[in-house]
Chain A
């Protein structure tokens, strides 16, 4: 059985036919070809698939594609404008990534944190990122990146 879904992805209306069991992350990766969102586990633990759904960070493996009908989706591919988003720039400046696989989820999660909490402390950052696993960095530089990214977002008005 195939179901038609329509949603806004990175500012554009996108349609597709999915199975009832198709996960949102599968729809993004396989139907729309947006492979920046990654799948690192099958128990919704790792956070590599974090995107924004209607402005909130969501693990896109925890939603069915049909549940996103009519939603406004932002993926890592849509985060940068003409220049990198301040959070992306902060990860680059502070070596907040190595293999890059967890990075899209980390960045999308961090942007949502700073929207909730414009000036997060280090424990608050570490607590927020508990749902994003990184095997490369030991988190040291990710925490540093998020702090720097928060400061940079405050300067440009926290907008993305």
Chain B
């Protein structure tokens, strides 16, 4: 890549191109779109966690003002609609496929979680649809509900699906169990820990919405939807649910107000409004309210884990043994099976040389909202397991947790490094990020601050977490071998216009990440043209050749690499045109800073001149070369990318209230080459807020008896607010990714991956003087206050 030293070049904090529309109220989100003659859909959802569906009486509702149609699961079955498909199949430890129960668009025969869609009411206005829904009578036969994965696998537990024995979807494992057992037998020291990884509600600020629009003149369907990957939705919904070919189905994901994973998946409502618009020959729109989002957006995490770490007499890690029960909820969401397996157990090596690792995972159905990818998706859970047990070991061995980590880091000269859990890290320097973080956090000066806080009656703690994540999903061949039912490449088209401006069509999707700016910087740098002359287009299957979308911190490493590949083709063709115009050999043409020049001469043609020549080919090698300058490329990554870093939390607990305040948070990360540092820092800040939210505030609670979601609104589910969080100290070390053309690794998830363990290790550090052992997330004031109270009154010898 050329890197001209000017505004918009790679590495400069260019202000975002997209901000003007967002700041003036001109962003266009799905709910902002309206069509003439548009109808409104309201989804009637199950009030029960587990029940049979008897008779559904919708006679009165049909007569309610404004109602146009009411459909139930039986209607959709009669119309031949398929179920909501799962995009990832896991083969269990016995070589059998996972249990994959039917997932009807509208429930058939049984409801399996509070919020399970049962009927759709379509009316002239949203209010009329909602009013009519209240008139529908459903004869439910309430069944026992299961919300806890551990209880769900007990003998005699009720069954969410008859075909899933003991509610188990699959039992899966990775690693060499015999090697792990042998290492444990020789260990000098063994640390053990039981952990809960609390269930989270993603809560992107824009609730999901979908607008289906059938054109009776052409038979074409258009769906506007809140999606991170419109092509994936077109594929899943078209092929599996509605049986519509791609050329008759356009999916548009316009401005999307945050996703964090929850808008990857194909949801029932998308199929409902698309199909209904065809039935009724009118556009049909659905927009979730927040209460509905809480019971219908896929949720995240929810693991119960036992972990053991074996160490030798020099405190070197010998082996890691992990056993996890993962709650999948009531149905298999699009990528659910991959999260507690491929994206979890494969990163359990972390930044360490642990030679033997074994992880067993049991994935379980319960009567709760489905669980799928949420920012980090498996990797936060893995990092939490590893970094908590490392801290437990350090405490037991009375070693500085920083020193124990250093002693076990993968050496700087060991790359490429093959872990015992399938991945091969291409580059990294975990010592560098740890030292940066220790220095920025004034780790050395902490004990003085602890003493000062103690003198004021406060408990201070400091906690470290280091991580390596696998991003940039993924080499298609590897993903396919691991169960992906799709390829995981990315597509890009670079369309050079006759006057030299450029429109780039990318299969990545921006829902806050700022692709319109950072991708433009990549193109500006590559083609030597100003960012003002570059437009990045995403989110529309009618415009973009294809795309797998944005998740897993893949946009720049996979989507950006596809753009580079397409630019390479543009430049290669440009060299041929320049060679013709300059009457030189193609091999003598070099392209730099927007100029095609004959090497060693002052003869050159600008990028704009070449573009014009391509479209006005009067003096042009037409025998050998087509006119035009418009190239498409698909990029399939060679490996995952491996961002890494060190996070340090300093917290203070008020013993009287149990409130934990984050005093200082330091993150030193390695994302490879940085295109726009301002955007990268923003991504880290947001990830940290979600990770700290998980550690201190957020918790999804279902009532065990009824299966009702008790934390079903912003009144009950504690979203981090401005006054809950500190400013963040963010810095970067750079080791380049060795296998993509930009050298980038991805930065979107790191904050949420590294921070929970840093916070909880700091909480453990603060509470250790009182003799309080490890605490599960979230460290709410009530939980901490009760622990402090019980240990203050406990006898000293206990």
Contacts and interface: CB of A to CB of B under 8 A. Distances in A.
Interface of A: 19, 21, 29, 34-43, 45-46, 48, 75-77, 79-80, 84, 88, 91-93, 95, 97-104, 107, 122-123, 125-127, 129-130, 132-143
Contacts, number: 178
Given A21-B127, A77-B24, A127-B723, A135 B19 contact: no
B617 interface: no
Interface string B394-410: 00000000000000000
A34, A48, A139, A143, most chain B CB atoms within 10 A: A139
Interface stretch (B138-146, B199-207, B306-314, B553-561): B199-207
Q: Which of A75, A123, A133 has the most CB of B within 10 A?
A: A133
B621 interface: no
B728 interface: yes
Contact of B25 (A43, A75, A102, A126): A75
Contacts of A126: 722-723, 725
Contacts of B713: 41-43, 45
Contact of B258 (A34, A41, A123, A135): A135
B255 interface: yes
Which 3 pairs show the lowest CB-CB distances between chains A and B? A36-B25, A100-B22, A101-B257
A137 B513 CA distance: 11
A41 B177 CA distance: 48
Interface string B19-62: 11111111111011000000000000000000000000000000
Given A40-B290, A41-B713, A98 B682 contact: yes
A135 B20 contact: no
B27 A36 contact: yes
A21 B32 CA distance: 21
A48 B31 CA distance: 14
Interface in B562-594: none
Contact of A140 (B206, B260, B723, B728): B728
B25 A135 contact: no
B387 to A, nearest CB: 20
B754 interface: no
Interface stretch (B115-123, B541-549, B683-691, B779-787): B683-691
Interface of B: 15-16, 18-29, 31-32, 127, 203-207, 255-258, 260, 289-291, 511-514, 678-679, 681-682, 685-690, 713-715, 719-723, 725, 727-728, 751
B260 A135 contact: yes
A133 B258 CA distance: 13
Nearest to A22: B127
B16 A92 contact: yes
A136 B715 CA distance: 20
Nearest to B712: A43
Given A40-B290, A91-B23, A137 B685 contact: yes
B205 A104 contact: no
B24 A100 contact: no
8 contacts: A35-B31, A36-B27, A41-B289, A42-B289, A100-B27, A100-B255, A137-B685, A138-B720
Interface centre among A41, A45, A138, A139 (most CB of B within 10 A): A138
A138 B685 contact: yes
Contact of A95 (B260, B682, B722): B682
A36 B290 contact: no
B127 A130 contact: no
Most chain A CB atoms below 10 A, which of B22, B29, B31, B719? B22
A141 B25 contact: no
B289 A139 contact: no
B290 A41 contact: yes
Nearest to B289: A42
Contacts of B29: 35, 38, 101
Given A95-B682, A140-B727, A130 B32 contact: no
A99 B258 contact: yes
Contact of A99 (B205, B687, B690): B205
A78 B723 CA distance: 29
Contacts of B513: 98
A127 B516 CA distance: 33
B682 A84 contact: no
A103 B204 contact: no
A28 to B, nearest CB: 10
Nearest to B689: A138
Contact of B514 (A37, A39, A98, A103): A98
Given A84-B24, A95-B681, A133-B721, 19 more contacts: A35-B28, A42-B289, A43-B713, A45-B713, A80-B23, A80-B24, A92-B15, A92-B23, A98-B513, A99-B206, A101-B27, A104-B25, A126-B725, A127-B722, A135-B203, A135-B719, A137-B686, A138-B725, A139-B721
Given A21-B127, A100-B255, A130-B722, A138 B23 contact: no
A141 B727 CA distance: 9
A76 B25 contact: yes
A12 B20 CA distance: 23
